[in-house]
Amino acid sequence: MSDAAEQYILGIDIGASRTAFGLVSWDGKIFYPEIIQSKVEGALLIDRLLSVSEKILGRAEAERKEVLGIGIGSPGIVNSQEGIVIAAGNLPELFGARLKDIFEQKFQLPVSVENDVNADAVGEMVFGVAKGQRHFVVFSLGTDLGGGIVIDGRLYRGADFIAAEFGHLTLDLGGKRCVCGGYGCAREYISGAGLAERGREELPGESLALKMVGGDREKLTSKEIFQAWQKGDPDATRLVDEFGKRFGALVSNVMKVLDPELVILAGGVCRAVPEMVNLVVRWTRHYYFPIPKLPEFCLSRFTKEDSVLGPVAVFMVERRSDQSACSPKKNK
Ligand SMILES: [Zn+2]
């Protein structure tokens, strides 16, 4: 077997909007990065996942790169033991998909499958801002809101792989029905799609954010709302204050359950808004116990391209624990 540094893992991070691919070396360098749209009219996502993977693995083979396996991150509830997506509200095509079996049969390589934000949490521990941290949580804010929990240096999945569904904690007792079957879920307010929806419903016609999209409410995204807020627009400020309050209340609730030492804010929406940490800390302080010390808050440094590091880290951690389980003499 060759040197570990010359071994590679194919990482696939399936997102609600975009899916990233990359071949990752053991020390975290990404080769052949590729990003595709997750939803394409008339084309099945799983078929496209397989064909892009085949292309990247073909390149690796041509350049004599030794590939150890494939790590996949998927939105929704994922049975990571069997590699099955149990539910995925944003990508119904993945409901019940046996991704581990499908990829193992096609490529004859070992495959790990994990919830995308759980994978992000492991990625932060191996390659990111949580190196050396034992107790931390990840709030990943993109189109949707996801969560990840690490307790005592290990990913916490719960009894049925449902843990850390922060986006589906109830924030509004009289709220709307959610895709998950619950009501008033946090993601209706704290997510890119949720904030945009609030903007469509509540912004007056002459407000700055709507002007940015030519007055077309359907085109409004969270991006324009945050940009208008950064310029001091009062209508956007009302929306973002409400967003910050709810986000702070949610983070504070999670902190009261888990008492983390670090809170990581990740995902495309947090990346685009550098003020997010201050906004969340301000409102978390408001709702949390009045003690002087809060955990550390920081932004993830991972971009969409880097998101493949999460599922790759999951594969690496599983492989390490497999190896230690097979060769007990290596353990003290
Ligand atoms: Zn829900």
pLDDT tens digits, 165-203: 999 999 999 999 998 899 999 999 999 999 999 999 999
Dist. CA 176 → ligand 1 center (Å): 9
pLDDT tens digits, 226-260: 999 999 999 999 999 999 999 999 999 999 999 99
Q: Which tokens go with 27?
A: 């020390």
Q: Which tokens go with 34?
A: 């590729």
> Rounded to two decimals, what is the model's pTM?
0.92
Dist. CA 167 → ligand 1 center (Å): 7
pLDDT tens digits, 139-172: 999 989 999 999 999 999 999 999 999 999 999 9
DSSP label of 178: P
Per-residue confidence (pLDDT) for residue 179, from 0 to 100: 87
Dist. CA 170 → ligand 1 center (Å): 8
Extract long-range pairs of 231-234: CB within 8 Å, 24+ residues apart.
Answer: 233/207, 233/208, 233/209
Dist. CA 147 → ligand 1 center (Å): 13
Dist. CA 38 → ligand 1 center (Å): 21
CB count in 10 Å sphere of residue 109: 15
Report yes or no: 271 and 299 within 8 Å, Cβ to Cβ: yes
Residues bordering ligand 1, an ion, CB closer than 5 Å: 168, 178, 180, 182, 185
pLDDT tens digits, 108-141: 999 999 999 999 999 999 999 999 999 999 999 9
Dist. CA 208 → ligand 1 center (Å): 30
Give the integer Cα–Cα distance in Å for 74 and 89.
Answer: 11
Per-residue confidence (pLDDT) for residue 331, from 0 to 100: 39
What residue ranges define each of the domains in the chain, with the CATH number in brackets? 4-121+305-330 (3.30.420.40), 132-299 (3.30.420.40)
Q: Would the pLDDT of 96 be above 50?
A: yes
CB count in 10 Å sphere of residue 57: 20
311 or 328: whose pLDDT is higher? Answer: 311
Q: Would the pLDDT of 329 be above 50?
A: no
Per-residue confidence (pLDDT) for residue 126, from 0 to 100: 96
Report yes or no: 46 and 93 within 8 Å, Cβ to Cβ: yes
CB contact set of 146 (below 8 Å; sequence gap of 6+): 75, 115, 116, 117, 120, 138, 139, 140, 164, 165, 166, 167, 267
Q: DSSP 3-state assignment of 11?
A: strand
How far is residue 107 CA from its own chain's centroid?
Answer: 26
Give the integer Cα–Cα distance in Å for 310 and 177.
Answer: 31
Q: Would the pLDDT of 328 be above 50?
A: no
Per-residue confidence (pLDDT) for residue 16, from 0 to 100: 85
The mean predicted confidence, pLDDT, of the chain is 93
CB contact set of 241 (below 8 Å; sequence gap of 6+): none
Give the integer Cα–Cα distance in Å for 263 and 280.
Answer: 10
What value does the mean pLDDT take over residues 67-94? 94
Dist. CA 166 → ligand 1 center (Å): 9
Give the integer Cα–Cα distance in Å for 307 and 122.
Answer: 11
Quote the percentage of the chain above a pLDDT of 70: 95
Dist. CA 124 → ligand 1 center (Å): 25
Dist. CA 178 → ligand 1 center (Å): 5
Dist. CA 192 → ligand 1 center (Å): 15
Q: Where are the beta strands (DSSP E) in the chain?
A: 7-14, 18-25, 30-37, 66-74, 77-79, 84-87, 111-115, 136-141, 145-151, 154-155, 262-266, 296-299
